[in-house]
Structure 1
């Protein structure tokens, strides 16, 4: 059975340099070397399996190398919205799974010596309007009642502690953290023991009986299982993902270093916009996708002049002391937004030896390591994850 679903790949006949003898064998072939692929390899490392990881570029060539480095609990929606949609029990289960993600990163990786600029000072969610303030206060009260570590922050405290203007208050989510995402993923992949093959663009995946054959322009890989860790690029690999995971562009700018002033990362505008100060003093800000929502789609990581100007305007409005600060970096990255806003883990319908994980909807670092654990349980024990099993979409 052709696992690519008849999709058109980007490797031409002329670029295919494989020879009949260029076959690499493994137990598990992972496609994608971002947070998902590295984490899947890490969680499979003690199962006695030979694992290889392929990527069309290098480690973190996609969203894992172009995100803001937030490790947050929850999902793309404020908790109260998620609770209204799925009920308090499922919403809390979802929250606890994402909290487990950061706990596992801290306990199994950071405390074991992985250097990745990890810090756990919480994240602020700030209100710019009275409507958002009311919703944030309701969310805060709900989470306090459920035993989640959150703290309400008044307008005056925001102005004093963050040196920020024009915010009406907010919530401090105390369990959240931040990280250098590339250092994190590199460390995870190195510790997994998997063999990494960079610059191997997959153009064919065929599942026949108990064997999966994955072809790149440089080699052929044969194994028992395949894991698609391709997130926003998943529809390039199989047509099943076309109406399940949508490639969505995010925009980020980073300033030159300035004196420290932000104690923790921040969200604003119903988590659509976000900013943090990096360890060297630079200020990172991203978001404003809503300004060009119709065009901020697809897999071309093109910076948007309109959005980048809006990011600078936002920065100068809320932090006047940053006016005149030079912008040193500008970039765009491709995220995978799922059809229902939740991650998905499972196997392709009718192909029980081709697994996948992704659809984090702008929360890949906040979910990826835990997703790798849940995927490994699905592979090794047949255990389906609660809430985020892809069976909900079949």
Structure 2
């Protein structure tokens, strides 16, 4: 099998209450060939398809479920440049130079994504927000000040807020926070659909449901076999399968984590100043955002993935705990969940994803281990994969390569 089958999400994600454009697909009834085959039609696959077709590559996308049907619908879509791993801690893990490069690239990725959405005129309820990184058990007040200074030295704007300033500006009672600007919130299903539809206009071909079962490759091509017989021959293969890892992907410092999320009823009058994206420097962390129509999304309570059954049985209890945390953080809100769901995703020790050609397989590219920065890292992946397939080398490719030390 190319990938083990897993349920990427369950429950009732809020995004299904908003209508996303339909993405047409075909049945795969015969052998076909293309320049690039993308396995996975979530946001990562969609970004890769849009970037590659924009550059003139012929593209086929397949998915064993269909467009927008995987873990993309489980994200709360806080599109932040702040990485899961604070800059100070990442510097200790990877060295100061690499950590700073990773943070700068993440900042650039958010800007590039915002520009791409505007250029393509994709209606995905895109909004730009300030962000608050709250003091917690990972970074307390003094460590948060050091993190602020580290970002400033890197050229990334950051402002430290004292307890008083945080309370006066945002009505939040914590020991301190880092205030940043330029992060995004959006509807991930609408974004994914918009990217896929633009690729379709450029003659991309979409086949679903199609399950890849074998991968054969040599110096000239990659041949992917499918469950019902037809094969797809491509010059390059891009694996964007979320945490449904394929056998060909090497062992990495990668683990699967489950997360839970809730969404409240619409309450636009209760939204806090600036509708700031909120993230805690805690373990387990809490993250909060609002939607364009005034719902509040809250997620966290992460645990290592065991199996789908256990993860799904925890939805009710996790939703109750998330609502209680939300109420303590922002007491003016009605925290009652109208939607509750769970999803699983891959993460790494450093918080940096794996992106690039697989060792020994130069025509097979994979993207995995996105953690809490899924959409931001999907943008970076589309840039790195585009460069590699086009015969160039992205200046930051080694930061995310499978062969990194």
State the TM-score, normalizing by the size of structure 1. Answer: 0.86
The equivalent of 1:14 in structure 2 is none
Unaligned runs of 5+ in 2: 7-26
Partners of 2:144 and 2:218 in 1: CA distance: 51
The equivalent of 2:298 in structure 1 is 285
How far residue 103 of structure 1 moved from its aligned partner, in angstroms, is 1.0
Counterpart secondary structure, 2:99: helix
Matching of residues 372-383 of structure 1 within 5 Å = 372-383=382-393
The equivalent of 1:390 in structure 2 is 402
Partners of 1:282 and 1:182 in 2: CA distance: 17
Q: What is the Cα-based RMSD across aligned positions, in Å?
A: 2.6
- Are residue 264 (structure 1) and residue 276 (structure 2) matched? yes
- Are residue 181 (structure 1) and residue 188 (structure 2) matched? yes
Counterpart secondary structure, 2:403: helix
Deviation string 1:223-280 (CA, Å, 9 cap, x unpaired) is: 222110113112xx22534544323211101011112423211001437210111111
Is residue 38–residue 188 contact of structure 1 (8 Å, CA) maintained in 2? yes
Partners of 1:264 and 1:314 in 2: CA distance: 17
The equivalent of 2:263 in structure 1 is 254
Distance of aligned partners of 1:126 and 1:303 in 2 relative to their CA distance in 1, 3 Å threshold: farther
- Are residue 143 (structure 1) and residue 182 (structure 2) matched? no
- Are residue 335 (structure 1) and residue 345 (structure 2) matched? yes
- Size of the alignment, in residue pairs? 373
Matching of residues 207-218 of structure 1 within 5 Å = 207-208=217-218, 210-218=220-228
How far residue 44 of structure 1 moved from its aligned partner, in angstroms, is 1.2
Matching of residues 100-249 of structure 1 within 5 Å = 100-128=108-136, 132-164=140-172, 166-192=173-199, 193=202, 194-208=204-218, 210-218=220-228, 219-234=230-245, 237-249=246-258
How far residue 8 of structure 1 moved from its aligned partner, in angstroms, is 6.1
The equivalent of 1:273 in structure 2 is 286
Distance of aligned partners of 1:297 and 1:373 in 2 relative to their CA distance in 1, 3 Å threshold: farther
Q: Which moved more, 1:298-307 or 1:336-345?
A: 298-307
How far residue 220 of structure 1 moved from its aligned partner, in angstroms, is 2.8
The match for 1:302 among 303, 312, 315 is 312
Partners of 2:219 and 2:399 in 1: CA distance: 30
Counterpart secondary structure, 1:65: helix
The match for 1:88 among 93, 96, 112 is 96
Partners of 1:39 and 1:111 in 2: CA distance: 14
How far residue 389 of structure 1 moved from its aligned partner, in angstroms, is 1.7
How far residue 180 of structure 1 moved from its aligned partner, in angstroms, is 1.4
How far residue 20 of structure 1 moved from its aligned partner, in angstroms, is 11
Distance of aligned partners of 1:391 and 1:130 in 2 relative to their CA distance in 1, 3 Å threshold: closer
The equivalent of 1:16 in structure 2 is none
Partners of 2:265 and 2:42 in 1: CA distance: 27
Unaligned runs of 5+ in 1: 11-18
Counterpart secondary structure, 1:230: coil
Counterpart secondary structure, 1:391: coil
Is residue 37–residue 234 contact of structure 2 (8 Å, CA) maintained in 1? yes
The equivalent of 1:15 in structure 2 is none
Deviation string 1:104-143 (CA, Å, 9 cap, x unpaired) is: 1112222442211212222110124696222111111221
Partners of 1:58 and 1:201 in 2: CA distance: 10
Distance of aligned partners of 1:21 and 1:283 in 2 relative to their CA distance in 1, 3 Å threshold: closer
